[in-house]
Chains A and B, each alone.
Chain A
């Protein structure tokens, strides 16, 4: 088993490398770079060259790449073209805000998805299943930012009971209840955004487990429906969910891009979008390499977790 884990880790490394190379290539291909941000047409060539040298732009491409990678691995993501701020500092401030929003929302969504999916799957084609599945079909067709706008209109404007912008009201940073009020709407939007796909997944997993022979055997030995569902089907259904959850790792950084933008939540979302709108390439690439790495690492973690938990794989070498 440890051989398998090692193999997977070794497979992931070249993938990470290739992504980083692509990323770096994109930076180099960008029509506008850090030096351009600092120089103008009228500056003498000598000055421009000095600036280039200062930031290492005069060195050959592969050297620049290694320096860049070295920087990234030590947490240095470079500087924003637009604000000249350190990207690492910005990310360090913003990632926690995103995590605070995304993580609990995802967990809540997952819990509901499991409950709804199990209920729907074990009552296939009955009314409750049709309701749940219908709800999922509709929810999946709703753009999350539109849903956000509707909520803002109802609760923020019409009823005026919830704040519509940011994490806190200015001046009330310490207040927990104020933060909670700000938290409700963006979190709700995310919960509804994550829910349908997860619930559908649980539902189809439940349906396929219930049609397995061992369920009929359990029935033959007098197990009640409750017994079968909670003691047997549950476990078997939850196992593949682990893969889903592992793959959700990158969401900790990019899971709420649009929602955060709509609500002005100070996370990675608006930071990235502003960078895109302002063509701030270093920031864009920093987010790119960060999130891609998380995707790869997330998949790796899923595989390893699965391997550790499924007794059938444990035995295989």
Chain B
């Protein structure tokens, strides 16, 4: 069955040019971020003689108001944004899967309490919640990863819980129970592998959301702080120079759009992994 699913994904990818482009783009910027240290330019190098220059052959993305090369700053900014996105996704997915499987598997009181808890947190509009929590922590890289990670797991937990509920009635789980396998092992060995496709898809959405949130919070001054650059605070800076240096806003923005779009696209393609298409028609 797994092979058929993988084959389905491959088939889907073959025809889907935008999916291939998306993957290529993401691989590209990821590699760029990882190997950024190889670039001979310093993102913090101030050069007051060449402030606010439009893109040119010397500075491919132009320079900012302190004369720093914008391309390099954007690359380093991308590195931060992707890092935040990824780590926040890891945290929220872990919490979400944990809560979801425990809640779904054990049911009863535990399920009630956990889901009530999820309901309560979900009652607070997300932006408000995240903004408020970030006040209580010192602003910075760690803070924003924690904030986004710790407050984005609710949707995943609901999805995982629903999947768990349906899987736990399946025979192989009942069999495992009947031979006295402990709950923890059952969950790890049986439930999580079955829920895996859902988790993968949810995590792509999670990264997109995390990147979008980081961008927003940093733009509002609540996220990554200068001199560290992220795409979000680059945009914040760009706002004050909008009239004279529009490229400062346009370029990181475009990268954000492509990145989020690409993650979403991959998520869509992976959906085929979960729901294999039935060939032909019915009766």
Chain B residues whose C-beta falls within 8 Å of the C-beta of A273 in the assembled complex: 131, 220
Is the pair B221, A288 in contact by a Cβ cutoff of 8 Å? no
Q: Is A206 an interface residue (CB 8 A)?
A: no
Give complex CA distance A276, B139 in Å: 12
Q: In residues 103-125 of chain B, which contact A (Cβ within 8 Å)?
A: 119-120, 122-125
Give complex CA distance A283, B253 in Å: 31
CB within 8 A of B120: which of A22, A153, A291?
Answer: A22
Q: Decide: A150 near B253, CB < 8 A? Known: A143-B215, A257-B127, A288-B124.
A: yes
Give complex CA distance A272, B268 in Å: 35
Chain A residues whose C-beta falls within 8 Å of the C-beta of B93 in the assembled complex: none
Q: Is A137 an interface residue (CB 8 A)?
A: yes
Interface size grouping (class) on chain A:
35 or more
Q: Is B261 an interface residue (CB 8 A)?
A: yes
Which chain B residue shows the least CB distance to A12?
B123
CB within 8 A of B135: which of A141, A284, A292, A295?
Answer: A284
Q: Is A38 an interface residue (CB 8 A)?
A: no
Give complex CA distance A273, B212 in Å: 18
Chain A residues whose C-beta falls within 8 Å of the C-beta of B257 in the assembled complex: 138, 141-143, 146
* Chain B nearest Cβ from A232, distance in angstroms: 21
CB within 8 A of B256: which of A138, A146, A257, A261?
Answer: A146
Give complex CA distance A30, B137 in Å: 11
The stretch from B41-49, B54-62, B163-171, B237-245 touching chain A is B237-245
**B residues in contact (CB < 8 Å) with A:** 119-120, 122-125, 127-128, 131-132, 135-136, 208, 212, 215-216, 219-222, 235, 238-239, 242-243, 246, 249-250, 253, 256-261, 264-265, 268
26 residue pairs A–B, Cβ–Cβ below 8 Å: A15-B123, A137-B264, A138-B261, A141-B261, A142-B257, A143-B216, A143-B235, A143-B253, A145-B216, A146-B235, A149-B235, A149-B239, A149-B242, A150-B253, A152-B242, A153-B243, A153-B246, A157-B242, A250-B125, A258-B220, A261-B220, A272-B131, A273-B131, A288-B128, A292-B128, A295-B124
